[in-house]
């Protein structure tokens, strides 16, 4: 065979291999596109399924879903969702009509409904005592978000006072009493509330219940947490144009002590008292009374006093007494 014939044969073989590769790639791509463009039957709820509902064949149906839009955890086989001869699965979360039934919304095969199954990874369920007032008159319902307040008594240097702090913010309510659902949404006064918290927050709740009383404050869903919260004491239970006392240092939140406040109050009262005593001991001309040169009798003490009155940030000297002159 001549050299030219060998070259032609080699080129033909190379072109044939390239053609086979291109054809195979085209056929595989077409097949994959056909599969992606197809549909698969997925199990959905045929009726509303509330928490604790059994998953039975009459409550499900299968709907065609695009292969590219099948949600993770969906069931494409009835035998996997409703196994024969097994205890029926139970809904852990409300499932609406035509909503896909996902594995994370129902129990496993043979398992019963449990609050523990509703907890995300790393979270805990902690129960606190409430009443008609601390439970917002029964308007707190499962899946609501609340803030937790603690009211406790703090012993100061010479007296004790009550303080209220924000203990936790944006906590999800798992259950009220022993109900993890409220089908009609009507308020119901309860004695306990089960909250979804982190491990360290569960310890805070346990300690807080022993240290004082807890109250739940219902909050709007999706509201951003307040980064700086304030301690409210008995001194704040008044109205004025400045909105009451405010503690200036955000760093002191959660570590509020009565020592500095009590010291400031005592100092202010001491100064006011000294001023009143000084004004009382002075006469009308501003000089202190002294005995007469003869010593026979003392000068009569003037009943006139000067009192300093504060209005906001301004102070005025007001003369009291000396009536009838």
Kindly report which listed range (112-126, 151-165, 216-230, 256-270) carries the lowest average pLDDT score.
256-270
Q: What is the pLDDT at residue 185? A: 63
Q: What is the pLDDT at residue 305? A: 65
Which helix or strand (DSSP H or E) is residue 286 part of?
none
Written as six digits, the tokens of 270 are 């001491």
Averaged over 227-234, what is the pLDDT? 86
Nearest to 145 by CA among 154, 136, 153: 136
Give the whole-angstrom CA distance, residue 287 versus residue 318.
18
One DSSP character per residue, 87-119 reads PPPBBSS-B-TT-B-BGGGB--TTPPP-GGGGS
Please tell me what DSSP assigns to residue 139.
Answer: T
More confident position, 121 or 199 = 199
Averaged over 18-30, what is the pLDDT? 82
Per-residue pLDDT tens for 276-305? 455 545 554 444 444 444 444 444 445 556
Q: What is the pLDDT at residue 26? A: 80
Q: What is the pLDDT at residue 298? A: 44
Q: Using pLDDT thresholds of 50, 70 and 90, give the confidence band for residue 263.
A: low
Q: What's the burial of 95, exposed, middle or buried (CB within 10 Å: 0-12/13-18/19+)?
A: buried
Instruction: Report whether pLDDT(187) > 80.
Output: no
Task: Please report where in the chains the tokens 């203990």 appear, as a residue.
Answer: 167
Q: What is the pLDDT at residue 282? A: 52
pTM assigned to the model: 0.53
Kindly report which listed range (82-96, 179-193, 289-303) carries the lowest average pLDDT score.
289-303
Instruction: Report whether pLDDT(268) > 90.
Output: no
CB-facing half-sphere around the CA of 100: CA atoms within 13 A = 18
Instruction: Report whether pLDDT(152) > 70.
Output: yes
Written as six digits, the tokens of 101 are 């039934």
Strands 124-129 and 145-155 turn out to be: unpaired
Strand partners, 44: 61, 100
Contact 209, 129 (CB under 8 A): yes
Please tell me what DSSP assigns to residue 219.
Answer: -
């Amino acid at each position: 065979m001549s050299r030219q014939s060998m070259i032609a044969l080699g080129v033909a073989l190379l072109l044939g291999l390239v053609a086979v590769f291109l054809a195979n790639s085209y056929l595989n791509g077409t097949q994959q596109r056909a599969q992606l463009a197809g549909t698969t039957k997925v199990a959905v709820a045929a009726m509303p399924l509330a928490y604790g509902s059994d998953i039975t064949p009459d409550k499900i149906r299968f709907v065609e879903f695009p292969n590219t839009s099948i949600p993770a955890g969906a069931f494409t086989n009835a035998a996997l969702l409703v196994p024969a001869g097994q205890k029926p699965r139970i809904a852990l979360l409300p499932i609406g009509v035509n909503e896909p039934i996902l594995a994370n919304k129902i129990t496993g095969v043979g398992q019963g409904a449990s609050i523990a199954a509703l907890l995300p990874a790393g979270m805990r369920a902690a129960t606190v005592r409430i009443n008609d007032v601390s439970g917002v008159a029964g308007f707190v319902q499962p899946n609501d978000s609340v803030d937790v307040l603690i009211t406790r008594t703090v012993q100061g240097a010479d007296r004790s006072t009550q303080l209220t702090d924000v203990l936790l913010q944006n906590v999800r309510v798992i259950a009220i009493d022993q109900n993890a659902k409220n089908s009609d949404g009507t308020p119901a006064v309860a004695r306990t509330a089960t909250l979804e918290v982190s491990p360290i927050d569960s310890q805070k709740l346990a300690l807080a219940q022993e240290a004082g009383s807890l109250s739940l404050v219902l909050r709007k869903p999706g509201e951003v947490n307040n980064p700086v919260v304030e301690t409210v004491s008995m001194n704040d239970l008044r109205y004025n144009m400045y909105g009451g006392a405010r503690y200036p240092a955000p760093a002191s939140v959660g570590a509020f002590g009565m020592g500095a406040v009590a010291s400031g109050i005592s100092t202010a009262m001491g100064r006011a008292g000294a001023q009143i005593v000084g004004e009382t001991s002075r006469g009308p001309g501003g000089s202190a009374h002294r005995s007469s040169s003869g010593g026979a009798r003392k000068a009569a003490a003037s009943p006139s006093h000067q009192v300093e009155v504060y209005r906001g940030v301004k102070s005025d000297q007001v003369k009291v007494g000396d009536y009838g002159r």
